[in-house]
Amino acid sequence: MSLVQPRTLPGALELLPHEQIAFQGLLDTIRTTYERFGYLPIETPVMELAQVLLTKEGGETERQVYFAQSTGDREAGREPELALRFDLTVPLARYVAQYEGQLSFPFRRYQIQRVYRGERAQRGRFREFYQCDIDIVGQDSLPVRYDAELPAVIHQLFTELDFGGFMIEINNRKLLRGFLADLGIAEGEQQKLVLREVDKLDKRGPDWLRQTLLERFDLAAAAVEKLLAFVGTRSQSYADAAEILDRLAAEHQHELLGQGVTELREVLARVADFGVPDSHLRLNFAIARGLDYYTGTVYETVLSEHPEIGSVCSGGRYDDLASNYTRSRLPGVGLSIGATRLFWQLRELGLYRQSGSTVQVLAALMDEDLLSHSLALASRLREAGVNVQTQLEAAKLGRQLKYADRAGIRFVLIVGSDELSRGVVTVKDLRAQTQFEVTPEALAGELLQRLAAALPSAPAEPAR
Amino acid sequence: MSLVQPRTLPGALELLPHEQIAFQGLLDTIRTTYERFGYLPIETPVMELAQVLLTKEGGETERQVYFAQSTGDREAGREPELALRFDLTVPLARYVAQYEGQLSFPFRRYQIQRVYRGERAQRGRFREFYQCDIDIVGQDSLPVRYDAELPAVIHQLFTELDFGGFMIEINNRKLLRGFLADLGIAEGEQQKLVLREVDKLDKRGPDWLRQTLLERFDLAAAAVEKLLAFVGTRSQSYADAAEILDRLAAEHQHELLGQGVTELREVLARVADFGVPDSHLRLNFAIARGLDYYTGTVYETVLSEHPEIGSVCSGGRYDDLASNYTRSRLPGVGLSIGATRLFWQLRELGLYRQSGSTVQVLAALMDEDLLSHSLALASRLREAGVNVQTQLEAAKLGRQLKYADRAGIRFVLIVGSDELSRGVVTVKDLRAQTQFEVTPEALAGELLQRLAAALPSAPAEPAR
């Protein structure tokens, strides 16, 4: 029979088991942190009805959508009725509109699922990737103080993830729009074009931006300088941020800018209450995000030692989540982490090394006659909550130790006939590079103690 | 603007948050148990290349496949190159063939992901559903003793899940084939047709089966009676099972039947070593599973109080996993749980009631002036590992208590100005229906202690 070459579609990140364990650890930490703040889980189908998923206008992302069709529908020559979700926001909108009467508001939800985009195949671009989203959705209204909770989630999450320093960058779209209007840059299309260039500031620098703004837009040199100074603003502390906002409010009378200042003041006051230190959060007036969707607070998050990755966690405030599906007004605030891309980037940077296996113990076997005994020991350990892989075929100890070491398994149980006659088990601790003997009765307790001691702190049980 | 009705495709099970929490609990228990036995996680892309996923013959399941195509490819008039996986076995075969050189064998893997089938829309039939699979894949060979590990996993899992009694039913395809051949029923198509009827024994009864076998197949009455007696065999204990096998071996000389007896003897001896009691595992010679795929041991699992659900966990031994993709011989043994259908069935039976929220504490707010204080308390609890939802808008206590009760949140923190001045926090324990006061310093310890006490036993940390 001729063979088919086993391969995956380009743009899918498929991992080897030890990498999958590390990636699963990332997702678990994200989920645990989201739950820590009271966000509730939902999952939505990968396939949505195309007429529900896709709006008539169809943004850029929608043009990358994958359509799906069953064999039967294809053979009948029908148009595809299904499409794969391209983000988790449109499914959230559909979900909240659909179950509005059964949800409690403000509705805090998290969702960790894969999304699909027909991107051009390119290194680091994914056609299938995980998004890890949280949103707080209000009914009719959602006070701006809610915008302060999300930075607290980000702060706790990236502290736990321990990828080194990070900075939550915060801005407000009303302040941005008011400032631009005050400079004579008209709301709408013109602001959009200017902000698209401003977005490149961090990559191309202020000189490039100055030249672009002067050449492409009909702006006076003084206005360009003002804009450059403005988008270059970064606060050094919460006190500094308050001063910056006071100064802005005093210098500009534009109403929208005033609203933006008021909102940012409240958010900054509250993030401090939420326990976010100003070493990890600052004003950054260059942050714009997608112009159409966000209407107030916007966030980005940058890893201090790896700014080249760009924002690893972004989001913001929106006025109305589900106007395509319901006349209810559903304002909200949310953020998203692209976990697949983040993992890939960190792996590229060598920050994700093999982090140890989910398997904690290998029950080695050197003598077929001792299999029953070894299986009984393993059962006892599993009942105590230890993850044990049993070796079911006898092999040389050296080979089994080498396997455990490569696989990142910490403990190897050795029961030879000598140990059996003396009523003990020998345990090799490959991480501590030590070896000890213990009775079968004391084995589970000893291993659990050593495993617990290896943790930096004792995290609480995940809630059910 | 005209509204689009928010709805999902028929055949997708979408859950409300409190149901999602219960479902997630089911998936978590499955994952934890799979990891307890040393199975390693993998995930594969939802979309596979159609030419890789689909074989030339195309079984029944393959005819239900969903094809996927990006907007660009559609517009270009191309044929779809992608298809959504319809199970986790074909992706495993592709994965193992693709990364064979980087995996250690025997390769124990678990995979918990959704699969897609273009089923006819029908109550209880799903077009998108979770499968939770484990497999042990050997290189060149995999001794039959590995077949004894999977019942141990099932036993531990269904003990943990606590859906009441369950029975693991075990059989061997060689024994079945040998027995049928001995009766004069030819290998291949004829056996397949007979077994398809035998499979209906539990539903339609022995009288129906007798009549069907006599009418449809050219079988002597004596042969039909022998077959009926055979497929009606159920062992009462491991000793009984051994006797049944001894008797079979003595009565029949067919080589394949002999091999089946030898394999079952070994599996039964080893499942006892693995700690599976014979109250939970028995021989059942009516178990056949899909005729083409499995070649040796086959398993099904039935919930004793809900036999109408049918098998909730099935699998078996196969000779060669990935012959479409590689010339390496990769025998294995595996099993699968259809978690979406299982959850749906249990919910229909009323066995999944609201099981409590992931949120452990609601920090109530009756007075806007105390928001900072409440946020600081919540931060302290979260640092200690408690899941806290903060109320950011002041409301009447009664309303907040009612919300917490409905949402399944156990503890409500109450900080009024009275509590603040006395330096204490009042905690309502809605489950215990008690109320107590505690200092902010002692709060986290007190809550963690009460949360831990609610657990039946202290499970170990999930490994990372």
Q: Is the pLDDT of residue B152 over 60?
A: yes
Which residue type, as a one-letter code, is found at position A197?
Answer: E
Tokens of B106: 């025997």
Q: Tell me: the pLDDT tens digits for B417-427?
A: 899 999 999 99
pLDDT digits (tens, 9 = 90+) for B237-262: 999 999 999 999 999 989 999 999 99
Is A263 a residue whose pLDDT tops 80?
A: yes
Q: Does A98 touch chain B (CB under 8 A)?
A: yes
pLDDT at B199: 84
The mean pLDDT value for A282-301 works out to 90
pLDDT band for position B91 (cuts 50, 70, 90): very high
Using the predicted structure, report yes or no on whether residue B456 has a pLDDT greater than 70. Answer: no
Whether the CB-CB separation of A201 and A209 falls below 8 Å is answered with: yes
Query: Model confidence at B120, in pLDDT bands (50, 70, 90)?
Result: confident
Residue type, B183: L
Structure tokens at A49: 């009805």
Q: What is the mean pLDDT of residues B213-221?
A: 89
Reported confidence tier of residue B350, pLDDT bands at 50, 70, 90:
confident
Which residues does chain B have within 8 Å of residue A65's beta carbon, measured at their own beta carbons? 70-71
Bond before A106 cis per omega within 30 degrees: yes
Mean local confidence (pLDDT), A376-404: 96
Q: Among the residues of B87-129, which ranges form H helices?
A: 89-98
- Amino acid code (one letter) for B161: L
User: Taking CB atoms and an 8 Å limit, are B392 and A145 in contact across chains?
Assistant: yes
pLDDT higher than threshold 60 for residue A195 = yes
User: Do the Cβ atoms of A362 and A400 come closer than 8 Å?
Assistant: yes
Mean pLDDT of A60-79: 86
List of domains in chain B: 361-453 (3.40.50.800)
Q: How many CB atoms lie within 10 A of CB A249?
A: 16
Q: What angle do CA A37, A41, A47 make, to 5 degrees?
A: 145
Residue B36 contacts A, CB cutoff 8 Å: yes
Regarding beta strands B40-41 and A425-429, do their DSSP bridges make them parallel or antiparallel, or are they unpaired? unpaired
CA of A272 to nearest chain B CA: how many angstroms apart?
A: 9
Could you read off the pLDDT of A162-175 as tens digits, one per residue?
999 999 999 999 99
Is A457's pLDDT higher than 80? no
Between the ranges A65-79, B37-51, B341-355, where is the mean pLDDT highest?
A: B37-51
Q: Of residues A354 and A166, which shows the higher confidence score?
A: A166
Given an 8 Å threshold on Cβ–Cβ distance, is A37 in contact with B389? yes
Cβ separation B5–A376 shorter than 8 A: no
- Interface contact flag, B382 A36, Cβ < 8 Å: yes
Residue B290 has pLDDT above 80, yes or no: no
Confidence category of residue B121, pLDDT binned at 50, 70, 90: confident
pLDDT of residue A63: 78
What pLDDT digit, counting tens, does each position of A114-148 carry?
999 988 878 888 999 999 999 999 999 999 999 99
Fill in the DSSP letter of residue A51. H
Contact status of A1 with chain B (Cβ, < 8 Å): yes
On average, the pLDDT of chain B sits at 92
Nearest to B45 among A14, A44, A403 (CB): A14
- CA nearest to B452 within chain A: A461
| Calpha distance B101→B109 (Å, rounded) | 16
Residues of A in contact with B152 (CB under 8 A): 379
Among A32-46, A361-375, B19-33, B450-464, which is the least confidently predicted range?
B450-464
Tell me which chain B residues have a C-beta less than 8 angstroms from the C-beta of A104: 403, 406-407
Percent of chain B, pLDDT > 90?
A: 80
Q: Given pLDDT bands bounded at 50, 70 and 90, which one contains residue A10?
A: very high
Give the Cα separation of B86 and B117 in Å (integer): 6
Q: What is the mean pLDDT of chain A?
A: 92
Task: Please tell me which of the candidates B17, B273, B464 has its beta carbon nearest to residue A42.
Answer: B17
* A80 close to B (CB below 8 A): yes
- Between positions 266 and 325 of B, the ones with CB within 8 A of A are 270, 273-275, 322-325
Q: Is A48 on the interface with B (CB under 8 A)?
A: yes
Looking at residue A217, its pLDDT comes to 87
Interface of A with B in 10-29 (CB under 8 A): 12, 14-18, 20-21, 24-25, 28
In this prediction, residues B374-401 reach a mean pLDDT of 96
What per-residue confidence (pLDDT) applies to A123?
Answer: 86
Predicted local confidence at residue A461, as pLDDT? 38
By the CB < 8 Å criterion, does A392 face chain B?
yes
Given CB atoms, is A450 within the 8 Å cutoff of chain B? no
Q: Are residues A16 and B74, on separate chains, in Cβ contact within 8 Å?
A: no
Question: What pLDDT does A416 receive?
Answer: 86
Question: Which residues of chain B neighbour A38 with C-beta distances below 8 Å?
Answer: 359, 362, 387-390
Q: Which residues, other chains included, contact B226 with Cβ-Cβ below 8 Å and sequence gap of 6+?
A: B183
Are the beta carbons of A50 and A82 closer than 8 angstroms? yes
DSSP structure class, residue A175: H
Q: Is the pLDDT of residue B360 over 90?
A: yes
Nearest to A17 among B40, B375, B448 (CB): B40
Q: Which pLDDT belongs to residue A122?
A: 84
Among chain A residues, CA nearest to B378: A274
The partner residues of B47 in beta bridges, in order of sequence, read: B84
With vertex at residue A286, the alpha carbon angle to CA A284 and CA A292, rounded to the nearest 5 degrees, is 115
Residue-level pLDDT at B256? 95
**Is B99 exposed, middle or buried (CB count within 10 Å of its CB: 0-12, 13-18, 19+)?**
middle
Rg of chain A on CA atoms, in Å: 27
**Which of B21, B143, B464 is facing A25, going by the closest CB pair?**
B464
The residues with which B367 forms a beta bridge, in sequence order, are none
Distance of CA B289 to the CA centre of its chain: 17
pLDDT tens, position by position, A205-233: 999 999 999 998 888 999 999 999 999 99
| A59 backbone φψ class: left, alpha, beta (φ>0; ψ -120 to 50) | beta
Q: Which residues of B touch A41 (CB under 8 A)?
A: 17, 20-21, 24, 358
Q: What is the DSSP letter of A1?
A: -
Question: Does A171 or A350 have the greater pLDDT score?
Answer: A171
pLDDT at position B291 = 62
Shortest CA gap B98–chain A (Å): 5
Distance CA A270, CA A274 (A): 6
Asked if A50 is an interface residue toward chain B (Cβ–Cβ < 8 A), one would say: no
Region of residue B426 (phi > 0: left; psi between -120 and 50: alpha; otherwise: beta) = beta
Please give the pLDDT value at position B356. 84
Collect all residues of chain A within an 8 Å Cβ-Cβ radius of residue B58. Answer: none
Of the listed ranges A20-34, A69-83, A325-339, B20-34, the one predicted with least confidence: A69-83
Mark yes or no for CB contact A357/B463 under 8 Å: yes
- CB within 8 Å of B380: residues ≥ 6 apart: B440, B443, B444
Q: Which residue has the tokens 């107030």?
A: A296
- Within 406-435 of A, beta carbons closer than 8 Å to B belong to 406-407
Q: Does B7 contact chain A (CB < 8 Å)?
A: yes
Distance from CA of A174 to the nearest CA of B (A): 23
Nearest CA in chain B to A14: B44
Residue A453 confidence (pLDDT): 87
* Closest CA of chain A from B303, distance in Å: 22
* Alpha carbon of B251: minimum distance to chain A alpha carbons (Å): 31
> Per-residue pLDDT averaged across A297-320, rounded?
94
Least confident of A99-108, A340-349, B140-149, B455-464: B455-464
The per-residue pLDDT for range B401-421, each reduced to its tens digit, is 999 999 999 999 998 889 999
- What residues have CB less than 8 Å from A449, skipping those under 6 apart? none
Which residues of chain B are within 8 Å of residue A392 when distances are taken between CB atoms?
106, 143, 145-146, 149
Residue A372 contacts B, CB cutoff 8 Å: yes
Enter the pTM of the model. 0.95
User: Does the pLDDT value for residue B168 go beyond 80?
Assistant: yes
- Is the model's pLDDT at B107 over the cut of 90? yes
The DSSP code sequence of A305-361 is: T-GGG--SSEEEEES-S-TTT-SS---EEEEEEEHHHHHHHHHHTT-------S--E
Q: Does the structure show a pLDDT above 90 at B388?
A: yes
Average pLDDT over residues B310-314: 95
Q: How many CB pairs under 8 A join A and B?
A: 332
| A372 to B52: CB separation less than 8 angstroms, yes or no | no
Q: Does B368 touch chain A (CB under 8 A)?
A: no
Residues from chain B contacting residue A47 (CB–CB below 8 Å): 9, 12, 66, 116, 127-128
